[in-house]
């Protein structure tokens, strides 16, 4: 695993500075994992912890920081048997061991919620499982992807606000907003961010009692509600969502549209948690005001805290995301390939990631490295071959098909709202993708004045940034039209 490799490098670096003393002290220390920039260590006793903390950790942590750019922190567990000490202390004088009170036998659970439980190798002489003086970590949180951490999330201008607000919501500093409403088009990292909040929230609370975190998609919330109703378990359901919860994360809230009874239930859960100052985070593909068939009182509550949107990432962010994913998946990717992919796939990170994984799979199947030629061929196979040749007619046709209109509508004088909108979008796409002047476009759209086209393009440009629904239409259309270079 990547984190283990990084940790081993940091250990080697620190050991090299004073090998004998390192062996001695680190035979009383165990590495329990690293998540989200938090290194979990276990010390045999307080004495070892203090010494290692003071004499070795500055070097070790500096190394990790310099390699990752993260703000690394160390979380200690003190006490218990060590199954896998970092060093074996060969020839070193025995460490002073604090007499330990008898503790009940208890299986070791992973402290790091990103790491699966480790198997024990039977080295324990007394056959006893280790126990710690600090509470063992709770089981993994249901439905969370361990890879969706802040450390794996690339921050750029398009998601900066959402990212900062998410860190604050997790208790990581900065003003906390409650609720935090994250919105943006599909595949832009909303789910990734809320999972990261859950991981971080738990890490921040480590050692301070159980962090009760509930992560549900709105769809799951509906299903659980319906089931609880049918089985007469509403008290249990309510206790779960209104009382036994320190952090509530609800993904894709737009799914509650039209489900009035569930909305009512969610409303009460929201109020109870908000009143108790428990953090609530909701994600959505639309701004609160644009949510359809949603009770007004819920919509207004969604805007009580902070509404942070995530836009499509800029080229530099797309490059950084690709590099990060390639590193995580251990895929070798040359700089020119990274740039080519980032320039070609612009709408959505999920698509960017999918392409990378597909390229990697195919390259390993064919035993061929991912060079620029290979990447070009692969993308040509999957994108619209007519993309580069598409003209005004093609764009008009695709737009009409998308909005279920006739081409003649676009060229007509009809100023009905939905037709005018489709017309503006078509003009915008033509201007973006073709080397046509405004007057040329005016002629191609039923002999309109060039100023009409200019104002339409500007209008759509502005909506693209302010209105997720418009952005979603544009992204869908861009996908249908195929890709163009930046």
Question: What residues line the site for ligand ADP (CB under 6 A)?
Answer: 148, 152-154, 159, 184, 186-192, 321, 324, 349-350, 353
Nearer to ligand ADP, 168 or 399 (CB): 168
DSSP state for residue 284 in the 8-state scheme: E
37 binds, among Mg ion, ligand ADP, none (CB under 5 to 8 A by kind): none
To ligand ADP, the closest distance from the beta carbon of 345 in angstroms equals 12
To ligand ADP, the closest distance from the beta carbon of 194 in angstroms equals 8
Nearer to Mg ion, 191 or 347 (CB): 191
Nearer to Mg ion, 159 or 191 (CB): 191
Do the beta carbons of residue 190 and residue 349 sit within 8 Å? no
Nearer to ligand ADP, 28 or 184 (CB): 184
Do the beta carbons of residue 379 and residue 344 sit within 8 Å? yes
- State yes or no: residue 191 binds Mg ion (CB under 5 A): yes
- State yes or no: residue 159 binds Mg ion (CB under 5 A): no
To ligand ADP, the closest distance from the beta carbon of 192 in angstroms equals 4
52 binds, among ligand ADP, Mg ion, none (CB under 5 to 8 A by kind): none
Nearer to Mg ion, 132 or 191 (CB): 191
Nearer to ligand ADP, 164 or 387 (CB): 164
The whole-angstrom separation of Cα 81 and Cα 30 is: 9
154 binds, among Mg ion, ligand ADP, none (CB under 5 to 8 A by kind): ligand ADP
Nearer to ligand ADP, 284 or 396 (CB): 284
35 binds, among Mg ion, ligand ADP, none (CB under 5 to 8 A by kind): none
C-alpha dist (Å) from residue 164 to 157, 180, 196: 11, 11, 12
To ligand ADP, the closest distance from the beta carbon of 353 in angstroms equals 5
Starting at the edge strand found earlier in the chain, the sheet holding 38-43 runs 29-35, 38-43, 73-78
The whole-angstrom separation of Cα 251 and Cα 200 is: 17
- State yes or no: residue 149 binds Mg ion (CB under 5 A): no
Closest CA to 67 of 77, 59, 75: 59
To Mg ion, the closest distance from the beta carbon of 251 in angstroms equals 6
Pick left, alpha or beta for residue 133 (phi over 0 → left; psi -120 to 50 → alpha; otherwise beta).
alpha
419 binds, among ligand ADP, Mg ion, none (CB under 5 to 8 A by kind): none
188 binds, among ligand ADP, Mg ion, none (CB under 5 to 8 A by kind): ligand ADP
402 binds, among Mg ion, ligand ADP, none (CB under 5 to 8 A by kind): none
Do the beta carbons of residue 153 and residue 194 sit within 8 Å? no
To ligand ADP, the closest distance from the beta carbon of 294 in angstroms equals 19
To ligand ADP, the closest distance from the beta carbon of 36 in angstroms equals 14
11-28 burial, b for 16+ CB within 10 Å, e for fewer? bebbbeeeeeebbbbbbb
To ligand ADP, the closest distance from the beta carbon of 310 in angstroms equals 7
Instruction: Give the 3-state secondary structure of residue 183.
Output: strand
Nearer to Mg ion, 182 or 430 (CB): 182
The whole-angstrom separation of Cα 199 and Cα 34 is: 12
The whole-angstrom separation of Cα 199 and Cα 383 is: 37
Nearer to ligand ADP, 62 or 353 (CB): 353
* Beta-bridge partners for 445: none
Closest CA to 39 of 120, 151, 145, 121: 151
Q: Which residue is nearest to ligand ADP (CB)?
A: 189
To Mg ion, the closest distance from the beta carbon of 188 in angstroms equals 9
To Mg ion, the closest distance from the beta carbon of 190 in angstroms equals 5
Question: Which among 25-33, 120-128, 182-190, 387-395 is the span making contact with Mg ion, rule CB under 5 A?
Answer: 182-190
What values do phi and psi take at 281, rounded to 5?
A: -130, 135
The whole-angstrom separation of Cα 419 and Cα 416 is: 5
Nearer to ligand ADP, 369 or 465 (CB): 465
396 binds, among Mg ion, ligand ADP, none (CB under 5 to 8 A by kind): none
- State yes or no: residue 348 binds Mg ion (CB under 5 A): no
Compute the residue count for the chain.
Answer: 486
* Beta-bridge partners for 310: 184
DSSP state for residue 32 in the 8-state scheme: E
Dihedral sign for Cα atoms in the order 337, 343, 345, 346:
positive
State CA 328 to chain mean position distance. 14
* Beta-bridge partners for 284: 183
To ligand ADP, the closest distance from the beta carbon of 206 in angstroms equals 24
Nearer to ligand ADP, 159 or 363 (CB): 159
Binding-site ranges for Mg ion (CB under 5 A): 190-191
């Amino acid at each position: 695993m990547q984190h283990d490799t990084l940790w081993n490098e940091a250990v080697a670096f620190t050991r090299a500075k004073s090998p004998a003393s390192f062996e001695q002290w680190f035979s009383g220390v165990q590495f329990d994992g690293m998540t989200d920039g938090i290194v979990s260590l276990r010390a045999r006793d307080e004495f070892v912890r203090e010494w290692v903390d003071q004499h070795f950790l500055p070097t070790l942590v500096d190394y990790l920081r310099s390699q990752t750019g993260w703000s690394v922190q160390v979380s200690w567990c003190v006490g218990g048997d060590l199954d896998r000490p970092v060093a074996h202390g060969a020839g070193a004088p025995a460490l002073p061991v604090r007499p330990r009170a008898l503790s009940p036998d208890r299986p070791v659970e992973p402290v790091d919620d990103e790491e699966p439980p480790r198997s024990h190798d039977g080295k324990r002489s007394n056959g006893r499982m280790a126990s710690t003086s600090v509470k063992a970590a709770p089981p993994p949180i249901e439905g969370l992807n361990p890879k969706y951490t802040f450390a794996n999330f690339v921050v750029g201008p398009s998601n900066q606000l959402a990212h900062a607000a998410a860190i604050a919501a997790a208790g990581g500093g900065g003003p906390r907003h409650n609720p935090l409403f994250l919105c943006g088009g599909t595949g832009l990292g909303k789910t990734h961010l809320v999972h990261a909040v859950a991981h971080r929230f738990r890490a921040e609370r480590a050692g301070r009692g159980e962090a009760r975190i509930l992560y549900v998609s709105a769809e799951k919330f509906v299903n659980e509600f319906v089931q609880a109703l049918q089985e007469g378990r509403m008290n249990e359901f309510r206790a779960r969502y209104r009382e036994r919860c320190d952090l509530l994360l609800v993904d894709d809230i737009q799914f509650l549209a039209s489900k009035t009874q569930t909305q009512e239930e969610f409303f009460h859960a929201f109020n109870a948690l908000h009143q108790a100052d428990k953090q609530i985070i909701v994600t959505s593909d639309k701004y609160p005001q644009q949510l359809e068939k949603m009770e007004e009182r819920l919509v207004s509550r969604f805007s009580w805290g902070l509404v942070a949107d995530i836009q499509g990432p800029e080229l530099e962010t797309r490059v950084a995301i690709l590099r990060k994913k390639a590193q995580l998946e251990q895929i070798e990717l040359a700089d020119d390939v990274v740039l080519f992919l980032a320039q070609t796939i612009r709408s959505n990170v999920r698509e960017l990631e999918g392409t990378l994984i597909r390229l990697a799979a195919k390259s390993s199947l064919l035993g061929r490295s991912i060079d620029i030629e290979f990447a070009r061929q692969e993308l040509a196979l999957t994108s619209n071959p007519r993309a580069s040749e598409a003209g005004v007619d093609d764009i008009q046709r695709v737009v009409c098909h998308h909005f279920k209109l006739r081409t003649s509508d676009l060229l007509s004088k009809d100023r009905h709202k939905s037709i005018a909108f489709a017309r503006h979008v078509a003009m915008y796409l033509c201007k973006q993708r073709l080397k046509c002047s405004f007057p040329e476009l005016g002629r191609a759209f039923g002999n309109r004045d060039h100023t009409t086209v200019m104002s339409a393009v500007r209008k759509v440009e502005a909506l693209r940034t302010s209105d997720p629904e418009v952005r979603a239409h544009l992204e869908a259309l861009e996908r249908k039209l195929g890709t163009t270079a930046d």
